[in-house]
């Protein structure tokens, strides 16, 4: 492992996006030279979006354009992706095209131009369900929750052997990858392409598995938005946030400025081979608590726990952030409670996309 704070020339993909724009500012403030690119897809940014100053329009699936941008680059910070869970089976080609083909084209272009370092935006969704344990049965891998249980308000996983309710544990980076959505499948594929590229070229990849990201400039409510933005939109409309299941689903919410700090740390400190890291606050919070914090801070109606459910949703997913602390020296600075309270009145993006883009 090597560590340096010397200025880098960084190619930042997805630089006009919610997370990418924060990373752009963090890298620039730290003295790095940033070559910022974004395809500015209307489906992601809105039909009237314009490129921010200093950002060039480049699609990561265009090998010739990428090769031109990669000249003299020390490290690539790859944020460009179609995001969200994938709300329709017809979205699959868009995820495969923009996320997976785009990453493969980028890796090939990096190989041709001699750039050997990649910081990859990955996600907690690669794990699928989190890690579970029973008092009597010990570690357990639950199957899919039964629809009959969900309909009757039984949301927790139970041990198939003892029938006891399983409790969650923090998920380490070596946990099996079990994607449960189209987006998750595409992020696993990105990681696999990157790991194979490392093996083939001797390059290095740091894959940052973001947990629930929120903060200033987050897109407004769409089927692809995070739950914090969906709750915010309800409160702005004078409606109570609608909390699914019983509201006790455990998650980790990490502020976008901490995400940017993690990327900065990964750019400045090269790790060996392929390294995946959980990027999380380390302070679990339930979905019901998220809604309650936003309601209190925003002066809106109290959340309503609906008991509704989506069959594909995971019950709990909470990470251990210790490896990122030990390898990158990164630790989140903003607690979910403080960050979400500030987010209740933070500016959101005026324009947002309406779904997955065309895959062509």
Reported as a single tens digit per residue, the pLDDT across 27-66 is 999 999 999 999 988 777 777 788 899 999 999 999 999 9
What is the reported pLDDT for 219?
A: 84
Give mean pLDDT, residues 127-154.
92
Domain range annotation of the chain: 9-130+171-350
Q: Which of 211, 203, 330 has its CA nearest to residue 266?
A: 330
Q: In terms of pLDDT, which residue wins out, 79 or 84?
A: 79
What per-residue confidence (pLDDT) applies to 172? 96
pLDDT at 222 over 80: no
Q: Say yes or no: domain 9-130+171-350 is CATH 1.20.910.10.
A: no
| Rounded-to-integer distance, Cα 89 and Cα 207, Å | 26
> In sequence order, which residues have a C-beta less than 8 Å from that of residue 126 and are 6 or more positions away?
177, 179, 184, 187, 188, 191, 209
End-to-end CA distance of the chain: 40
Portion of the chain with pLDDT greater than 90, in percent: 79
148, exposed or middle or buried, with CB in 10 Å at 0-12, 13-18, 19+? exposed
Which of 338 and 180 is assigned the larger pLDDT? 338
SS3 string, the chain, reads CEECCCCCEEEEECCCCHHHHHHHHHHHHCCCEEEEEECCCHHHHCCCCCCCCCEEECCCCCHHHHHHHCCCCCEEEECCCCCCCCCCHHHHHHHHHHHHHHHHHHHHHHHHHCCCEEEEEEEHHHHCCCEEEECCCEEECCCCCCHHHHHCCCCCCECCCCCCECEEECECCCCCCCCCCHHHHHHHHHHHHHHHHHHHHCCEEEEEEECEEECCCCCCCCCCCCHHHHHHHHHHCCCCCEECCCCCCEECEEEHHHHHHHHHHHHHEECCCEEEEEECCCCCEEHHHHHHHHHHHHCCCCCEECCCCCCCCCCCCCECCHHHHHHHCCCCCCCHHHHHHHHCCCCCCCCCCCCCCCCC
Q: Please determine, for residue 227, whether its predicted confidence score (pLDDT) is greater than 50.
A: yes
Residue 87 has pLDDT above 70, yes or no: no
Between these two residues, 356 and 12, which has the higher pLDDT value?
Answer: 12
Grade residue 153 by pLDDT with cuts at 50, 70 and 90. very high
- Closest by CA position to 309, among listed 242, 262, 264: 242
pLDDT of the residue at 163: 87
Whether residue 102 is predicted with pLDDT greater than 50 in this model: the reply is yes
pLDDT, one tens digit per residue, over 284-330 is 999 999 999 999 999 999 999 999 998 778 999 999 999 999 999 99
pLDDT of residue 1: 47
Structure-token match 């093996």, residue found: 199
- Please tell me the predicted confidence (pLDDT) of residue 5: 52
């Amino acid at each position: 492992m090597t560590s340096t704070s010397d200025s880098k020339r960084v190619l930042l993909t997805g630089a006009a996006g919610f997370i990418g724009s924060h990373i752009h500012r963090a890298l620039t403030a730290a003295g790095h030279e940033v070559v910022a690119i974004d395809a500015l897809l209307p489906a992601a940014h809105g039909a009237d979006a314009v490129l921010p100053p200093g950002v060039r329009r480049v699609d990561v699936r265009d090998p010739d354009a990428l090769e031109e941008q990669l000249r003299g680059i020390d490290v690539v910070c790859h944020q460009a992706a179609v995001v969200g869970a994938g709300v329709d089976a017809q979205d699959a080609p868009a995820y495969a095209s923009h996320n997976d083909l785009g990453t493969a084209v980028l890796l090939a272009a990096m190989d041709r131009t001699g750039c050997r370092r990649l910081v990859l935006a990955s996600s907690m969704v690669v794990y699928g369900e989190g890690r579970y344990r029973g008092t009597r049965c010990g570690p357990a891998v639950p199957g899919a929750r039964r629809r009959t249980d969900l309909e009757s308000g039984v949301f927790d996983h139970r041990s198939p052997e003892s029938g006891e309710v399983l409790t969650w544990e923090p998920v380490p980076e070596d946990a099996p990858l079990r994607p449960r959505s189209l987006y998750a499948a595409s992020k696993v594929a990105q990681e696999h392409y990157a790991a194979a590229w490392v093996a083939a070229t001797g390059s290095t990849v740091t894959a940052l598995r973001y947990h629930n990201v929120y903060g200033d400039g987050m897109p407004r409510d769409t089927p692809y938005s995070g739950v914090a933005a969906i709750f915010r939109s309800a409160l702005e409309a004078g409606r109570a946030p609608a909390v699914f299941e019983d509201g006790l689903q455990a998650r980790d919410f990490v502020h976008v400025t901490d995400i940017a700090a993690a990327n900065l740390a990964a750019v400045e400190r090269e790790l060996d081979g392929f390294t995946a890291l959980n990027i999380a606050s380390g302070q679990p919070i339930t979905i019901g608590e998220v809604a309650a914090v936003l309601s209190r801070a925003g002066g809106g109606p109290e959340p309503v726990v609906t008991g509704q459910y989506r069959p594909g949703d995971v019950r709990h997913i909470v990470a251990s952030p210790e490896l990122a602390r030990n390898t990158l020296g990164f630790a989140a600075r903003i607690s979910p409670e403080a960050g979400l309270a500030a987010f209740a009145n933070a500016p959101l993006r005026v324009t947002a996309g309406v779904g997955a883009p065309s895959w062509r």
